[in-house]
Structure 1
Amino acid sequence: MHQFKYQLSLWISFTFMMLLFGSCSGYKMMNGPVFNPGVSLELAELRKQEVSGLKYKLYFKIPEDKNEEVSGKVVMDFMLNRTNVDKTNEFGGVLLDCRINKDKIYKVWANGRQVNKWIVNEHIVIPESVVKKGANQIAVQFVAEDQSLNRNAEYLYTLLVPDRARTLFPCFDQPNLKAEFSLQLDIPAHWTAVSNTAIINEKTTNDRKEIHFAPTEPLSTYLFSFVAGLLNRTEQFQNGQKIAVYHRETDPQKLIQLDTIFHQVFASIKWMEEYTGVPYPFAKYDLIILPGFQYGGMEHTGATLYNDRRMFLDEHPTPDEELGRTLLIAHETAHMWFGDLVTMNWFNDVWTKEVFANYFAARITEPLFPDVNHRLSNLRTFYISSLGEDRTPGTTSIRQPLDNLRNSGLIYGQIIYNKAPIVMEKLVELIGQEAFQSGIREYLRTYAYGNATWDDLVSILDSKTDADLKQFSDVWVNQKGMPEIDMELKGNRLIVRQRDLLNRGIFWPQRFNVTLCGKKTISREINLTDSILELPLDFYPDYVLPNTDGRGYGRFLLSSEAVQYIVDNWFSEKDEVCRLSLLMTLYENYQSKRLSPSLIANTLLKGLPIESNPIIASALVGYLNSCVNDLNGEPRLYIEQRMYELYQTHKLPSVRLQLLRALMSMVVSPDVIEALYGIWSDGKSELLSERDYMTLSYELAIRMPERSAAILAKQRERITNPDRIREYDYVARALNHDTTRLDNLFESLLIPSNRRIEPWTQTVLYYLNHPTRQDYSVKYIRPALDALRDVQRTGDIFFPRGWVGALLGGYRSMDAYQEVQDFLKDNPQYPPLLKNKILQAAYPLFRCNED
């Protein structure tokens, strides 16, 4: 009944609009796809034909009290071209994208004339009677929604990727309508403001301050940004360029790291300029480092946002963390050229900006860490992460279809961030470094300050090589999944087969090395150009070790002889890349249930005590953590005890710290729990940071209910930074042992306003569904999955995956498995992109409960 009333009301509204505005040129009838909620592909394509010369003038008045409304006004100037549009039976007005409560849209003007506001499916409809061919100006007075303002007690920041600009101000919210933005802010006089460009005028009156920023270069709406609040500022000059860092950190030990951050930003800019031949293409590069920021970083030109935990490292950072920060800085800097200067035409190609950001970040990092084996680092960073998602039933292709920008956030994941750089490596190997660099430079020159597609780049690269890039792209970019590669020895012949696990009959062209073992040991390169390869040999090997140089991508099956060799000898392999590659292959065979968790755990523990490379050791600890979660009883207690002993004795401090962090998250042994309590209670570990102690207190409080209140109170007293105290109080609510209060807390998370700080919310949801609470908290699974669409609608791009990961990550029980299966069964038409996030997160749960 309610659905019928809604449809009837909508039909009446559409009918009225058609009578009011007539039916010629521009847009299809109001029940057509261009009027769908969000920004449909049809609407975006139509507006791209019609709108050009776009400029926004924006004004926001920001009160100090975060509970008061932020008022705003936008004036947009543009040219309207309707000469090539079929005018038959179409609505001739203009649609602005606007996901602001209609009651908060106060006034609308078109070409100097106030018009009655009319909002349909998140669009402000500007009637045909008040727009014209040629120059137009539309203005709207409104109150901004808080969703994308990220308001805190002492600061706020905008985050508009991928389609959130329309929640902040009415606009044409699509990436291929780039515009010039001019911003004016009215803020409390003691606040600081940062935006994409420099301040050109500032005036203070009483307790308020009015700031005018210079117009931007052409930007997509998702790249417009500003930050305002109580911020500290530090700046440095180098090579004639000034960069400022804004932050809220108070710890002197962390602030010392600003010199490293500045050095790496300047180095990243210089590397990109030299490689691309394009000088830094924007007016300035400032950084804002914020607590609770949703992502590692976001590449707003002139106002790049970073997460404080990724930038201000603890006193004893692991090599992974140091490399990770540098890769993050280089990644966001590379975006200035790939994503900001040249932007994808539509978000189905969002991977094109992410692949270049990660691919070039890896290369930028190499000279900054000359003592690191970067091939090894790439295996650890790209391959392990990508395989972790590609093996799940929720895997996707790199390039994915997208019908509406409101679903574009669901495209993000390990495939576009980490599989795509692997594919780019293979592409460069195929066409050569010189041709690749030449093509990249031509691509940037051709599409500077504009938009391009993957096919546009392929077309440029194709002109510089004889290789079949179309076939390569079709398989590696447009198809999901990975090959299963098997190797068989028949006398003196090696037969290599690759199989498509999804039975589409496709094959993945790639090169990798194998090691043939027998009376002699030799390495041979395999060039797979078909589903099967037969290679004659000049001797009779006993067995073959696949992918020993780590270049291959897929699931490499191991013979029993190869398994035994790796189990017995992996830790004595001198070549570091080979050593990690063998372990990765062994682990993937375990993930496909060909090997037991006990075998893998004990194999890892054979070599971990003597592993001297911190990158490999980090991978070992990660694999060990995963295996132990599949163990029970005495085998698990034994492994945990060995891990604790290694924490005490390993020669690498980073390994000791990673082992301790792993134990925090998974420990069930009473003896080890008591030992961890002793470490926390003493509070004097040279390895642990304040944040480590915070995490340890969470884990102990949940495992020691009788000491929980005392642990939380004591840890809170230890924290000095006010932002971290706020975070601690937010998370600690989930560590209560009163089930009524836990239920109320969970129910509160179903309300969007209560989950605004998404990283903290994910932590709360994780502890509500902690492995030690599985029997009780399983009842949260269904309502949390039911809320996932709302989480997607109201949250940022990584939040849906983070939500289901926090929800399901700790479960292994059949009851939990059945809850997820029942949900999927009851929702057969569930949006595929969102369903993939569930399938990715539920993979460990499915793996434990399915044959």
Structure 2
Amino acid sequence: MKQFCTSLLLIFLWMSCASDHKKLILEKGISYELAQYRKQQLSDIVYRLHFSIPKEKDQPIPTTLQVEFTVNDLQNDVFLDFNEATAKLKTITINDKKASINHQKEHIIVAKSLLQLGKNTVAITFDAGETSLNRNKEFLYTLLVPDRASTLFPCFDQPDLKAKYHLTLTTPKDWQVLAGGKLTSSKASQEGFTTHVFNETDLMSTYLFSFVAGKFTEQTQNPGAFDMRFLYRENNPEKIAESVGEVYKIHQNALDFLESYTAVPFPFQKMDFAAIPPFQYGGMEHVGAIQYRQSSLFLDKNATQNRKLGRAKLIAHETSHMWFGDLVTMKWFNDVWMKEVFANFMADKIVNPVYPEVNHTLSFMMSHYPSAYSEDRTKGTNAIRQYLGNLKNAGSLYGRIIYNKAPIMMRQLEYLLGEDVFKSGIQEYIKTYANTNADWNDLVDIFDKKSAGDIKSWSDVWVNASGRPLFYEEIETNEKGNVSKFVIHQKAEDGSDKVWTQSFKIKLIDQRGYQKIIGIKNMGKSFDITAATKDFKPGQVLYNTNGFGYGVFPIYKAAINDYKNIKDEVSRGYQFINLYENMLVGNIAPKETIQVFLEALPQEKNELIFNYISGRIQNIYWTFLSKQSQAAIQTTLEDNLFGLLQSELPQNIKKTLFGAYTTVAISTEGLDHLYQIWQKEMTISNLFLNENDYTNLAMKLAIYQHPKATEILETQQKQISNADRLERFQWLLPSLSNKVQVRDDFMQALLQKENREKESWVQTALNNIHHPIRQKTATKHLRSILETLEEVQLTGDIFFPKGWLASSIGNYSSKEAYVILQDFLAENPDYNPILLKKLQQTTDQLERAQQIKQ
């Protein structure tokens, strides 16, 4: 009996120890389980890095790392993330003892037997990873979001293990440098190099660590708060004169607003920025060293108001991240949307006082709604907040749902709570979680405490569910023709029982011309407006006249031609958006829709609405009209646009109009007009074109097979004054060739990852190859495009998988392309669900076109 009890005790102790010492299962990437464990295992992390950058681009970058950290438990080994070849690792020392390198499944395993509870130091010599180093002949820059820090150096690559960094860069002597810490010293050597030492950085997540190095022009200005350094490679004197001062001013305006709104002073030691020609995104919010795409910042004196607004919002967005994302960071990347929604939401608030002449309600609506709908209407739509089991899939979470639908949701939430309660909640959130991490539920808890509403339940639909509602009417009239019952209902587009609680306004217009505006507040499944419609004789209803509601609303077909006469810009703009969405769900034909837009274009004076209408005209023409319908309307369309170009319109409208004309001017006469404009033989009043415009025009002429295409491209090449833009143009030339074989060879080359280094260039090349005019010769590449997608996700940056698809198969509406897509899906029933969503998003129009064209 005693022996039996002893055995039971041993079994119990073994089971207890086994549960306490749960062994981590190592897998590629950073699993959620590993991240959770490391958060409690490690603390007080400090990285000391020295990158020695050679003069030759193809030479490795020798690097040393010393990482210090506190170990709080030793149940498991410590895993450093390093998603590069083992051969890049040279030596490792653990607590001053040399050790053997144990590199498995993208992790360096630091044996717990060599560690101690408390402070530890691991030193590693290695060659820096190249995946996210973005090396060019004269410059390089890091871009490490979301999990790319581990492709550059060994680290604990998860957002809730914030650390401080000591960085040293040795570079060629004539290079400028920028990083998260202040530059404290630069010492030149006789070998032609300079060693730059930076101050210890503020606390930050690994994805926010960065540096830029290369041949840049440098400016330092103090726009009001402190000195800010600006690196750029732009050499156009006009753009520099027009842009540099504005860039500083917009940053300062954003800082002033955010300090006031959050009640938290600027939280970091500095804020510098760099403009990089081939940058993958509009911008990236690195602590102390924001990176921008150069063309987004440098505008000439003739830039449209839309371009200027875009620049202002971009800068305000990245500056907002200093508080929303950098100071308070999400715990796990499933809440990456939080930093993006607040950056977008705050950017819209910041821009208002900068451009008082702009209708900002309209600007918000035109910026967010069409873009959000473009993903939310597809089979590949997703909730704002998504599941993420492994950080290697974090890039797939990015998209228009988090950038565009989430701000719409946040505006509804602010209205539900009231502006003062909302602002108070945000201030508490920032102060409570400063320099740490928080998730959406933490913020919901704050809002729930400050309000009487059930924000959690509201959030379950708006944030945790996908899709959008379709609204419909239930109307009954009496013997006099007056309304006896008027109820507005909503149903989920996907057939589920979701209900979006939201508010918006409608305008009733009865048969006698009487008008009445009704506010729909916190609508659930239905909203009864019968009492408000007494004596109303149904004529039409204009829905969402304040641009606040979200979904597809009813249209009155007999009245759609009157949309152009609506005086209120917000209402007019939304009726056009809603008309297009109704076309896509089959409530109205493309021919009718494009005709409404064509008739509205001549009298539309608002640039934002004009830009939307012209974009929809181009989209309907190339995607949803049959070849016969295209042929029937082409001459009229081209003539109308050219006639408008020659009329008296503001220059911002003219620039948008010219862009639309260049997309449809494919007739002999149209090509001749484009050629004369490119040759500067034809001038159009109030149309001002810059070097980039002429370059794009030359590319269009080549795609449209102008007889002098070869000569045009050769001449344009000589006229490009900027070395970076010239390099891009020369790289794109094979995609513009009139020889099918040259284009085919180039397309095949893009299937190899080493030829996709500059992703924005690749997307332009794909658009050139897969332009509708060239699709007869390009359709054969679609299968390989689809088969390469998984590799593109592994090797590309976060937006590139969708960009890869949107620039290729996303340009198609043909039956042949649809068959290729369906065959691929049928042959891959267990296809990566994350990539499947991207594929469904980018081929939504291809699928809809099959029904709509019929």
Q: Distance in 2 between matches of 1:310 and 1:169?
A: 30
Q: Distance in 2 between matches of 1:667 and 1:809?
A: 22
Q: Distance in 2 between matches of 1:516 and 1:71?
A: 70
- Report how far residue 827 of structure 1 moved: 1.4
1:619 aligns with 2:612: yes
Moved more, 68-77 or 619-628: 619-628
Moved more, 632-641 or 127-136: 632-641
Contact 1:647 1:657 in 2 (8 A): no
Contact 2:385 2:464 in 1 (8 A): yes
- Report how far residue 280 of structure 1 moved: 0.5
**Equivalent in the alignment of 1:62:** 53
Contact 2:209 2:286 in 1 (8 A): yes
- Report how far residue 641 of structure 1 moved: 2.0
1:389 aligns with 2:375: yes
User: Which amino acid letter does the alignment assign opposite residue 181 of structure 2?
Assistant: T
**Equivalent in the alignment of 2:524:** 530
Contact 1:254 1:312 in 2 (8 A): yes
User: Which amino acid letter does the alignment assign opposite residue 535 of structure 2?
Assistant: F
User: Which amino acid letter does the alignment assign opposite residue 363 of structure 1?
Assistant: K
Q: What do the CA deviations read for 1:283-320 (whole angstroms, capped 9, x no partner)?
A: 11111001010000000011100001111124421111
Q: What do the CA deviations read for 1:666-710 (whole angstroms, capped 9, x no partner)?
A: 443332122112211227755222111111111111222642211
Contact 1:705 1:737 in 2 (8 A): no
**Equivalent in the alignment of 1:500:** 492
Q: Distance in 2 between matches of 1:748 and 1:133?
A: 52
Q: What do the CA deviations read for 1:376-404 (whole angstroms, capped 9, x no partner)?
A: 10011011211122112211111111111
1:592 aligns with 2:585: yes
Q: Distance in 1 between matches of 2:681 and 2:62?
A: 47
1:546 aligns with 2:539: no
**Equivalent in the alignment of 2:215:** 230
Q: Distance in 2 between matches of 1:397 and 1:590?
A: 24
Contact 1:315 1:689 in 2 (8 A): no
Q: What do the CA deviations read for 1:229-276 (whole angstroms, capped 9, x no partner)?
A: 101111211334111111001000110110111111111101100111
Moved more, 400-409 or 541-550: 541-550
Q: What do the CA deviations read for 1:798-830 (whole angstroms, capped 9, x no partner)?
A: 111110001123212111111111111111112
**Equivalent in the alignment of 1:688:** 689
Contact 2:284 2:292 in 1 (8 A): yes
- Report how far residue 95 of structure 1 moved: 0.8
**Equivalent in the alignment of 1:13:** none
Is the alpha carbon distance of 1:696 and 1:683 closer, same or farther for their aligned partners in structure 2, counting shifts above 3 Å? farther
Aligned pair count reads 815
User: Which amino acid letter does the alignment assign opposite residue 456 of structure 1?
Assistant: D
1:443 aligns with 2:429: yes
**Equivalent in the alignment of 1:44:** 35
1:254 aligns with 2:250: no
**Equivalent in the alignment of 2:3:** none
Q: What do the CA deviations read for 1:601-640 (whole angstroms, capped 9, x no partner)?
A: 2211222212121122111111222122233111233222
1:573 aligns with 2:569: no
Moved more, 145-154 or 518-527: 518-527
- Report how far residue 94 of structure 1 moved: 0.9
**Equivalent in the alignment of 1:489:** 475
| 1:266-277 map, 5 Å | 266-277=252-263
User: Which amino acid letter does the alignment assign opposite residue 213 of structure 1?
Assistant: F
Q: Distance in 1 between matches of 2:367 and 2:280?
A: 20
Contact 1:563 1:586 in 2 (8 A): no
**Equivalent in the alignment of 1:10:** none
SS at match of 1:156: strand
Q: Distance in 2 between matches of 1:231 and 1:494?
A: 64
- Report how far residue 643 of structure 1 moved: 1.6
Q: Distance in 2 between matches of 1:644 and 1:607?
A: 15
Contact 1:601 1:639 in 2 (8 A): no
Contact 1:318 1:654 in 2 (8 A): yes
TM-score by length of 2: 0.93
User: Which amino acid letter does the alignment assign opposite residue 555 of structure 1?
Assistant: V
Q: Distance in 1 between matches of 2:648 and 2:816?
A: 39
1:765 aligns with 2:766: yes
In structure 2, which of residues 397, 403, 410 is the aligned counterpart of residue 424 of structure 1? 410
Q: Distance in 2 between matches of 1:530 and 1:190?
A: 64
Q: Distance in 2 between matches of 1:318 and 1:395?
A: 32
Q: Distance in 1 between matches of 2:500 and 2:753?
A: 43
Contact 2:225 2:252 in 1 (8 A): no
In structure 1, which of residues 63, 81, 86 is the aligned counterpart of residue 72 of structure 2? 81
SS at match of 2:406: helix
Q: Distance in 1 between matches of 2:542 and 2:738?
A: 51
| 1:666-705 map, 5 Å | 666-682=664-680, 686-704=687-705
SS at match of 1:704: coil
**Equivalent in the alignment of 1:166:** 150
Contact 2:705 2:738 in 1 (8 A): no
| 1:267-416 map, 5 Å | 267-416=253-402
**Equivalent in the alignment of 2:9:** none
- Report how far residue 647 of structure 1 moved: 2.1
Q: Distance in 2 between matches of 1:273 and 1:456?
A: 22
Moved over 4 A (4+): 23-30, 683-686
SS at match of 2:505: strand
In structure 2, which of residues 515, 525, 529 is the aligned counterpart of residue 521 of structure 1? 515
Q: Distance in 2 between matches of 1:771 and 1:314?
A: 31
SS at match of 1:555: coil
1:119 aligns with 2:90: no
- Report how far residue 504 of structure 1 moved: 2.0
Moved more, 603-612 or 773-782: 603-612
User: Which amino acid letter does the alignment assign opposite residue 679 of structure 2?
Assistant: S
Moved more, 826-835 or 531-540: 531-540
Q: Distance in 1 between matches of 2:77 and 2:262?
A: 42
Gaps of 5+ in 1: 1-22
Q: Distance in 1 between matches of 2:521 and 2:251?
A: 39
User: Which amino acid letter does the alignment assign opposite residue 208 of structure 1?
Assistant: F
Q: Distance in 2 between matches of 1:606 and 1:240?
A: 50
**Equivalent in the alignment of 1:17:** none
SS at match of 2:811: coil
Contact 1:697 1:711 in 2 (8 A): yes
User: Which amino acid letter does the alignment assign opposite residue 316 of structure 1?
Assistant: N
Q: Distance in 2 between matches of 1:781 and 1:626?
A: 20
Is the alpha carbon distance of 1:467 and 1:586 closer, same or farther for their aligned partners in structure 2, counting shifts above 3 Å? same
Is the alpha carbon distance of 1:25 and 1:63 closer, same or farther for their aligned partners in structure 2, counting shifts above 3 Å? farther
1:660 aligns with 2:658: yes
Q: Distance in 1 between matches of 2:743 and 2:267?
A: 51
Q: What do the CA deviations read for 1:133-163 (whole angstroms, capped 9, x no partner)?
A: 1111112111112211100110000000000
In structure 1, which of residues 637, 646, 649 is the aligned counterpart of residue 647 of structure 2? 649
- Report how far residue 545 of structure 1 moved: 2.1
In structure 2, which of residues 112, 136, 140 is the aligned counterpart of residue 156 of structure 1? 140
Contact 2:223 2:248 in 1 (8 A): no
Q: Distance in 2 between matches of 1:323 and 1:684?
A: 30
- Report how far residue 770 of structure 1 moved: 1.7
Q: Distance in 1 between matches of 2:656 and 2:822?
A: 34
Q: What do the CA deviations read for 1:536-576 (whole angstroms, capped 9, x no partner)?
A: 23223313222122111001122xxx222132x21221111
User: Which amino acid letter does the alignment assign opposite residue 210 of structure 1?
Assistant: T
User: Which amino acid letter does the alignment assign opposite residue 661 of structure 1?
Assistant: G
Is the alpha carbon distance of 1:640 and 1:27 closer, same or farther for their aligned partners in structure 2, counting shifts above 3 Å? farther
Q: Distance in 1 between matches of 2:681 and 2:136?
A: 31
Percent identical residues: 39
